[in-house]
Chain A
């Protein structure tokens, strides 16, 4: 794992526990950013890097579980590892159901925590990768002219150039040129590749 490119956020109201976690993270070469409360975390500027959040269940004001819900509602997608002094089973179930990566009871073994962190960061990296791919595809799609988009929608239906020309009321040669442009701009290597891209972008195969 390339640890240079990841950040681990820690929210715990106990200064010593915060400090200890930062120490442990740094001793394995991870970047640790520590916060005393959820509000402080939300207010802080966060790097655009694969990351995860170590969150104490028992926080003053809003609890860790509440904060998890808050992040979900604010559409902040970050894998969470919960730590708690005395976690009961219903609490654990609630946290895991809401998508937590792990639920550790204090004091925890360092390897347990580090494994959870690696799992969480891998998960975040994967999610980010998928998100950025979609963003790239959308940019490419936006580079198409309206006519090319029409052609794309018909091509992914499996229509032949001749049929497309008839649909759009143009010549087959023109369609061929448009189609070449679409393949080039979308950086699609083959028709199935283009169809997959369209699926990722949720472009429906329209009928004209």
Chain B
């Protein structure tokens, strides 16, 4: 390192010496046609440009010396003639000045170059940073999209699950709520019997036990009351209804299920049906129930088309009738008898409430719901409702 620097310094002074010597040789060869000083000026400028201020000053002294020797003193020797001194001063002062200017200029240029380099590096760095930020952003966007898709899927799954789970969850919860007080009542009753059986009976404990039995009996009845309150919230909202409209609305709701289960749906709706006076939501629930049952009954059907037929017709003068026919596994005689009882089910995951609730709804509308076995495959569920006559609606 240090050696390199010494070499560099020597090189700079060497350049200065060579430049001045060259100026001397050229000037000498052209004598006496030219002024001796301009080429020496050029040599000083070159020395300062490449070597800096040190070699510049060196060039000035060297040039002054040579000028004095070769051109000022006629006898080619270093004289101290006053006129010669003046001449030399005339040369060396501007030479020093120009050397200084050159140095300044060179420094400025160097600084500019450095600034440009720094700027370049900075721009490159910023570009890289920007690129990285951009990539991160892209990744985040992709991640977000994935999360959103997952969220939508979960939501759809959840919606499906809640529909299936709510009833059975509710039943479990109610069972627990009622079971706790019942356990307390039965166990306390047993204890009470024993307090009575001792001789003499421990009447204080008997009274305590009885008090708990009454409290817990009340608690159980509160649970029942709450459940009844729940069902009362869906109050009857009776209005004149167009049965075919209800059927169409239910089919629209079931579209997805029909497609996924590959059900071929047929609709035969009678025109000019009389109005029915009833609760829209409840009657839709009945139709929905029958359609879902029909679809599920055909789950195992592989050897024939899964056909579901929904029919509406006028039964007699003042009644209309809706039928849902499937070509599924059908019904056995002993099943037909129990179909509409609560908790009776033929489905693996069923809780046996659908048909029981449906029958309750239809009966509360003054109608009738029943099931028959089809001659070839499957079963028909149908209900009949009284038509709303003019005076009623």
Please list the residues of chain A having a beta carbon within 8 angstroms of any beta carbon in chain B. 14, 16-17, 19-21, 23-24, 26-28, 58, 85-86, 106-110, 113
Identify the interface centre among B179, B191, B194: most chain A CB within 10 Å of its CB: B191
Segment at the A interface, from B211-219, B321-329, B330-338: B211-219
A189 CA to B175 CA in the complex, in Å?
62
With contacts A86-B172, A107-B182 taken as known, whether A20 is within 8 angstroms of B191 at the C-beta atoms is: yes
- Check A20 against B176 for contact (C-beta < 8 Å): no
CB of B244 within 8 Å of the partner chain: no
With contacts A27-B195, A85-B176 taken as known, whether A107 is within 8 angstroms of B205 at the C-beta atoms is: no
- Check B208 against A23 for contact (C-beta < 8 Å): yes
Q: List A contacts of B219 (CB < 8 A).
A: 16
The B242-276 residues at the A interface (CB cut-off 8 A) are none
- Check A20 against B188 for contact (C-beta < 8 Å): yes
- Check A20 against B187 for contact (C-beta < 8 Å): yes
CB of B134 within 8 Å of the partner chain: no
- Check A86 against B180 for contact (C-beta < 8 Å): no
A109 CA to B179 CA in the complex, in Å?
14
Identify the interface centre among A21, A28, A110: most chain B CB within 10 Å of its CB: A110
A sample of 30 inter-chain contacts (CB < 8 A) reads A16-B184, A16-B216, A17-B183, A17-B187, A19-B184, A19-B188, A20-B216, A23-B192, A23-B208, A23-B212, A26-B191, A26-B205, A27-B191, A27-B192, A27-B195, A58-B176, A85-B176, A85-B180, A86-B176, A86-B179, A106-B180, A106-B182, A107-B179, A107-B187, A108-B186, A108-B187, A109-B190, A110-B186, A110-B190, A113-B187
Out of B172, B181, B194, name the residue touching A16 (CB < 8 Å).
B181
Residue of A nearest to B182 (CB): A107
Q: How far is the CB of B364 from chain A (nearest CB, A)?
A: 32
Residue of A nearest to B202 (CB): A27
- Check A16 against B191 for contact (C-beta < 8 Å): no
- Check B179 against A85 for contact (C-beta < 8 Å): yes
A110 CA to B212 CA in the complex, in Å?
17
**What interface size band does chain B fall in?**
20 to 34
- Check A20 against B195 for contact (C-beta < 8 Å): no
Judged by DSSP, the binding face of B is helix
A27 CA to B208 CA in the complex, in Å?
12
- Check A24 against B190 for contact (C-beta < 8 Å): yes
Out of A17, A20, A27, name the residue touching B205 (CB < 8 Å).
A27
Judged by DSSP, the binding face of A is helix
A26 CA to B188 CA in the complex, in Å?
11
A107 CA to B213 CA in the complex, in Å?
14
A109 CA to B185 CA in the complex, in Å?
12
With contacts A20-B188, A23-B191, A107-B182 taken as known, whether A85 is within 8 angstroms of B175 at the C-beta atoms is: yes
A27 CA to B212 CA in the complex, in Å?
15
With contacts A85-B179, A106-B179 taken as known, whether A16 is within 8 angstroms of B212 at the C-beta atoms is: yes
Q: List B contacts of A17 (CB < 8 A).
A: 180, 183-184, 187
- Check B212 against A19 for contact (C-beta < 8 Å): yes
Q: List B contacts of A107 (CB < 8 A).
A: 179, 182-183, 185-187
Q: List A contacts of B175 (CB < 8 A).
A: 85-86
Q: List A contacts of B99 (CB < 8 A).
A: none
CB of B312 within 8 Å of the partner chain: no
Q: How far is the CB of B187 from chain A (nearest CB, A)?
A: 4
CB of B209 within 8 Å of the partner chain: yes
- Check A14 against B184 for contact (C-beta < 8 Å): yes
Q: 15 other contacts beyond A20-B185, A85-B179, A110-B186, with CB at 8 A cut-off?
A: A16-B212, A19-B188, A23-B191, A24-B190, A27-B192, A27-B194, A27-B205, A28-B194, A85-B180, A86-B179, A106-B179, A107-B183, A107-B185, A109-B190, A110-B187
Identify the interface centre among B190, B215, B216: most chain A CB within 10 Å of its CB: B190
Q: List B contacts of A108 (CB < 8 A).
A: 183, 186-187
Q: List B contacts of A85 (CB < 8 A).
A: 175-176, 179-180, 183
Out of A24, A106, A109, name the residue touching B191 (CB < 8 Å).
A24
The B150-199 residues at the A interface (CB cut-off 8 A) are 172, 175-176, 179-188, 190-192, 194-195
Q: List A contacts of B184 (CB < 8 A).
A: 14, 16-17, 19-20
A19 CA to B183 CA in the complex, in Å?
11
A19 CA to B205 CA in the complex, in Å?
12
Identify the interface centre among A17, A20, A86, A110: most chain B CB within 10 Å of its CB: A20
Q: List B contacts of A26 (CB < 8 A).
A: 191, 205
A26 CA to B187 CA in the complex, in Å?
12
Q: List B contacts of A24 (CB < 8 A).
A: 187-188, 190-191, 194
A131 CA to B208 CA in the complex, in Å?
40
A109 CA to B176 CA in the complex, in Å?
18
Q: How far is the CB of A6 from chain B (nearest CB, A)?
A: 17
Residue of B nearest to A24 (CB): B191
With contacts A27-B191, A27-B195, A27-B205 taken as known, whether A20 is within 8 angstroms of B179 at the C-beta atoms is: no
Out of A14, A23, A28, A86, name the residue touching B188 (CB < 8 Å).
A23
Q: List A contacts of B186 (CB < 8 A).
A: 107-108, 110
